[in-house]
Amino acid sequence: MTETRADIRLPTENLSDDLPFYTKKLGMRLDMIYPADNPEVATLSGHGLRIRLQKGAPDGPGTIRILTESPDKFADGERELTAPNGTRVEIDELNPPLVLPRTEHAFVVRRLADQAPWVIGRAGMSYRDLVPSRLGGAMIASHIRVPDGPVPDMVHFHKVGFQLIFCIRGWVDVLYEDQGGVRRLHAGDCFIQPPRIRHRVLHAADGIEVIEIGVPADHITEIDHEMELPTPDERPDREWDGQRFVHSLAKEGVFEPFRVPGFEARDTTINDNTKGVASVLVARPVAGQVSPWTRHNGDILFNFVMSGEMTLEGEGKDPYRLNAGDAFVIPPGMATRYADATQDLELLEVSLPGSFDTTVL
């Protein structure tokens, strides 16, 4: 196999000034230098990077970012440095703690008929933003269409606090770390992807659509080039940051009285398996019953209309007639009513935290 290397070229005026900075201060290794009598070029490597310091190079000095588990012990604890050749060096956390922004509460209604744009995202999937404000960065809700056939995905994971994949149409096959073979998600089923669980989307049916909820809104997706799926061991009880993987099947769900009178709901066990981080329910109206005005004291309460119609009434707001594909967020303390629901109405309700109080007015 032919060996191939790549360097990042940086300018230098005096190698004797720059080399001690890169080798001693940054801990890089000198790999090559020439000519011996009056060096003009040096190649160094370290921290997954190769650089070529070249006298008189026409390039700008650039910026190097070094991520480490112990930034306070690296480069004498300095977070920003400048090399003699002008290159800026930033030192940062390799695995910074997950920051959950404070929720900026708002009453949000997003209707499919408003023709919000579909945007091509990761692995060729189309995304429609259901909460444009992201509630101040607290969460992201996406309506996703996956092209049918094999999906050009790689083994990856997300640095999140909570993530839900709920299938509303079609089916999709996914592999998950320590969860056995291929998992097929059908309409009405959902996955909870615990933080950092490795997974890979394999194949999607024609017309597949899912709802994806992520907390916080801005989170990192990383590719794992080493892990192969499926993994050899199946560990259904494994936890990632206190959360278990959940594959909830609609056909196994049991409908019970909902927090809002006049409705019933089936639980997905997500409240229990995330230890109260979030709850995911599917709610539907009870024939012959009228839903009253209510208010809740939770932090985030998101709903997506999967089928049917209803009128959403909110204090101080004009009523909204909602149809399949519409979404809404109800802030804490706001009185609302689910009125004039058709019997085929099904609501996907996602709440954070999983347990909160509802007051009937």
What are the structural domains, with CATH classification, of the chain? 8-93 (3.10.180.10), 113-250 (2.60.120.10), 252-360 (2.60.120.10)
State which H helix or E strand residue 247 sits in: strand 246-248
- Structure confidence at residue 123 (pLDDT): 65
Residues 6+ apart with CB under 8 A from 22: 28, 44, 51, 53, 83
Q: Which amino acid is at 328?
A: F
Cβ–Cβ under 8 Å, residues 162 and 196: no
Q: How far apart (Å, rounded) are the C-alpha atoms in residues 158 and 220?
A: 6
As a whole number, mean pLDDT of residues 236-243 equals 95
Q: How far apart (Å, rounded) are the C-alpha atoms in residues 199 and 242?
A: 18
- Structure confidence at residue 277 (pLDDT): 96
List % helix, strand, coil for the chain (3-state, nearest 5).
10, 45, 45
The two three-digit tokens of residue 307, written as one number? 């089928």
DSSP H helices in 6-123: 15-20
pLDDT exceeding 70 applies to what percent of the chain? 99
Tens-place pLDDT, residues 101-149: 999 999 999 998 887 778 877 667 788 999 999 999 999 999 988 777 8
Tens-place pLDDT, residues 165-206: 999 999 999 999 999 999 999 999 999 999 999 999 999 988
Measured in whole angstroms, the distance separating CA 296 from the mean position of its chain's CA atoms is 26
Helix (H, G, I), strand (E, B) or coil at 248: strand
Place of tokens 């709901």: 265
| pTM of the entire predicted model | 0.88
Residues 6+ apart with CB under 8 A from 325: 111, 112, 143, 305
